[in-house]
Structure 1
Amino acid sequence: MLNDTDPSDRTDPTARRGRSRLLTRDRHVRILGQLSTMGSVRVSSLAAELDVSDMTIRRDLVELEREGRLVRIHGGALPSESLPPVAMDSEEPSFESRLHQRREAKLAIARLAAEIISRYRAIAIDVGTTTYLLASQLRHLQHAKIFTNSLRIATLLDGAGPDVYIAGGQLRGDELSVCGPSAIAQFEALWFDVAVIGVSGVTAEGLFDYSFEEADMKRVYLRRSALKIALCDSAKFQRMSLVNVAPLADIDILITDAEPPAKIAAVLAASGVELRVAGSSAAS
C-alpha cells in the first residue's frame, strides 16, 4: 500500500517534498492505469487501494482533469476521450409532438417497463410521453395502486383495473402535470414499491428535465421508492436541459432502446445501475 509520508523524511523538508511529488506521480500513474483498464474509476475504491483519503484522490482527479487526462464525474472519473457533443435543449416541445417522436422505440421501452413493474402493488408513475405509453400497458392490473402527478395518465387509467391516486396542486399547462408544494408534501408522505420517471436527457452527469417543478416531483419519486426506474429513448443520450434532476447513481434501472455511449455506460456500470435495452434479451 502507498502512504502519503515516510517517517525517514520528517527531518528533511526537501526530501519530504520530493517524496510527496513522487507519491503523487505514482498515484496518478495508478489512477490512469485503472482508467485505461476499467473504463472508469471511483474515488472510494481508489482511496482504499492507495491507502489515502478520499480528499487526496479528489485532488488527484482535479489535477489530472486540469491536465486533460480524464473527466471527473459524480464519485469518480472517466477517460478524457470526448463523447459525442452534448446538445442543450432550451425549449420543451409540446406533449403531442413528443408523443409522436420515436413512438415505436418508446412503446418498446414501455412494454419492457410494464413487464418489470406489473408484479408490484404501489406504483408511482411520473409525467412524460414514455410514461404515458407505459400507463397504457397497465390497464389490466387488478391488484395495483398507481400514484401519479399526470392528469393524462390518471384519465387514461380511469375505470380500468388499478386504483389511481393523483397528487393535488398547481396544474402545469400543456403537460397537464400537477406540481407545487402541496403535491410534493402529499407524495413525500408515501412509500412506493417502485417509481418510474421520465427524463428529457441523459449525460454522464445525470438525468435532466425542462421544468423545476416537475424535477422536484421526480426527486420525490426517487426518494420515496424502493425500486427506481428511469425511461429514456436513445435519442435523449447526450442531451441536457435546464435542470439536472439527479446523478445516474440515484436510479436502479435505466430502460432504453439502444446501447448508450461508452462513457454513459461506464457511469451506469460504476454506479451499479442495471441497463435494460428493449428488444435485447441481455441486460448489462
Structure 2
Amino acid sequence: MDAEQQMVAAAEKPKVLAQVRHARILETLARKGAVSVSDVASQLAVSEMTVRRDLIELEKDGRLVRTHGGAVRSGKAFEPIANEAVDREEPTFESRLTRNAASKRTIAMAAAGVAAGARTLALDVGTTTYLLSGLLLNQPHTKIFTNSVRNAMQLGAGFGEVYLPGGRMRGEEMAISSQSAVTQFEELWFDIAFLGVSGITEQGIYDYSFEDTDMKRVYLRRATQKVVLCDSTKFKRMSLVHIAPLQQFDMLITDAMPPADLADALTAAGVEVRIAPEEQPLL
C-alpha cells in the first residue's frame, strides 16, 4: 500500500467522537481507578496524542487527575458528560427485536412503501431492516443486496433476486462485514439504501460495531436515495462509532417527531423526516 492509499484508508477509519472517547475513559476509571494513555489509544484505535488531549480536557473539568502516562479518577468522574446518552454495549439481536417492536413494524411498513418500484435495494443489518425484509418478498423484479444473513434467509422465500457479499460472518448479529464484502458492494450502485442505526443526535448517526459501520458507509456512498430507519427511543443517543453526519442521508423514517433541537438539525441538513402512522388494532 503506497502513501496515498494509506492516507485514504486512515481517513475512512470509523471516527470515535470526543464525547464517546471521554465516556469510555471515565467508564474505565470507574472500574479500574486508573487508565494508561497507550491502553486507551489501542482500545479506541486513536493516537496517543488524541488521548492525551482528552485527558487534559477531562482534568480541566475536574473529572480525573493526570499522572505520568495516564490518569486516575477524581470525585467528579461519575457525573454525566453530555446531554446525549451513550450506549456502550450492543444488546443481542433478539432483545433488540422485541424492544419497541410495534413502532419498528410501523417504520418497516412505511419503508416498504418507499421501496415500492425500486429495481435495486441495499438492506443493512438491524432489527428494523430485518422487519422490512419480510415485507419485500413480493417484488419479483427487484434485486436486493444485503450483508445480513438473516435478511437474506427471509428474502429467499420471495420472488426477488437476493445477493450476499462474501466474507466472514460476525457472530450473533449474522452480519457479513469483512473487507472483501465492502470491496464487492463498493462496485455497485443502488436505487435506495435502507440503514439501521443505534442512535441519532445533532452530530449524526451512530452504530455499535466498527465492522458493520464500514458497510453502512458503502451504502451511503453508493445509493441514489439514503434512508435511515430509527425509532424514537434512539433519539439523542450515541454509541461507539460515528457513522456519518446528518447531511449524508436523505430521509429519516421514525415513529415520532424528534426533539426540537434534533428536528432543527435535520431540517438544516436537508433530511426529510417521515413519521410512520401508528399501527391500527385488529378488529
Q: TM-score, normalised by structure 2?
A: 0.69
Q: CA deviation at 1:85?
A: 2.5
The residue matched to 1:142 in structure 2 has which SS? coil
**Deviation per residue, 1:8-62 (Å, 9 max, x gap):** xxxxxxxxxxxxxxxxxxxxxxxxxxxxxxxxxxxxxxxxxxxxxxxxxxxxxxx
Q: CA deviation at 1:173?
A: 0.9
Hey, what's the Cα distance between the residues in 2 that align with 1:138 and 1:159?
A: 10
Q: Which residue of 1 aligns with 2:219?
A: 221
Hey, what's the Cα distance between the residues in 2 that align with 1:224 and 1:236?
A: 25
Does residue 95 (structure 1) correspond to residue 93 (structure 2)? The answer is: yes
The residue matched to 1:174 in structure 2 has which SS? helix
Equivalent of residue 204 in structure 2, options 206, 225, 237: 206
Hey, what's the Cα distance between the residues in 1 that align with 2:208 and 2:185?
A: 21
Equivalent of residue 143 in structure 1, options 132, 141, 163: 141
Q: Which residue of 1 aligns with 2:159?
A: 161
Q: CA deviation at 1:118?
A: 1.5
Q: CA deviation at 1:219?
A: 0.2
**Deviation per residue, 1:45-90 (Å, 9 max, x gap):** xxxxxxxxxxxxxxxxxxxxxxxxxxxxxxxxxxxxxxx9311100
Hey, what's the Cα distance between the residues in 2 that align with 1:189 and 1:128?
A: 23
Q: CA deviation at 1:263?
A: 1.1
Instruction: Give the letter aligned to residue 189 of structure 1.
Output: E
Q: Which residue of 1 aligns with 2:258?
A: 260
**Deviation per residue, 1:177-226 (Å, 9 max, x gap):** 00111000000000001100000000000000000110110000000000
Higher alpha-carbon Rg: 1
The residue matched to 1:226 in structure 2 has which SS? strand
Superposition map of 1:263-278 within 5 A: 263-278=261-276
Equivalent of residue 114 in structure 2, options 108, 113, 116: 116
Corresponding residue pairs, total: 197
Query: How much is the aligned-residue C-alpha RMSD, in angstroms?
Result: 1.0
Q: CA deviation at 1:121?
A: 0.5
Hey, what's the Cα distance between the residues in 1 that align with 2:213 and 2:241?
A: 7
Q: TM-score, normalised by structure 1?
A: 0.68
Q: Which residue of 2 aligns with 1:250?
A: 248
Hey, what's the Cα distance between the residues in 2 that align with 1:119 and 1:185?
A: 27
Hey, what's the Cα distance between the residues in 2 that align with 1:187 and 1:268?
A: 28
Hey, what's the Cα distance between the residues in 1 that align with 2:216 and 2:169?
A: 16
Structure 2: unaligned runs, 5 residues or longer:
1-81, 279-283
Hey, what's the Cα distance between the residues in 2 that align with 1:132 and 1:226?
A: 21
- Structure 1 runs of 4+ aligned residues shifted over 6 Å read none
Hey, what's the Cα distance between the residues in 2 that align with 1:119 and 1:252?
A: 18
Q: CA deviation at 1:99?
A: 0.3
Superposition map of 1:181-200 within 5 A: 181-200=179-198
The residue matched to 1:275 in structure 2 has which SS? strand
Superposition map of 1:22-33 within 5 A: none
Q: Percent identity?
A: 54
Q: Which residue of 2 aligns with 1:107?
A: 105
Q: Which residue of 2 aligns with 1:180?
A: 178
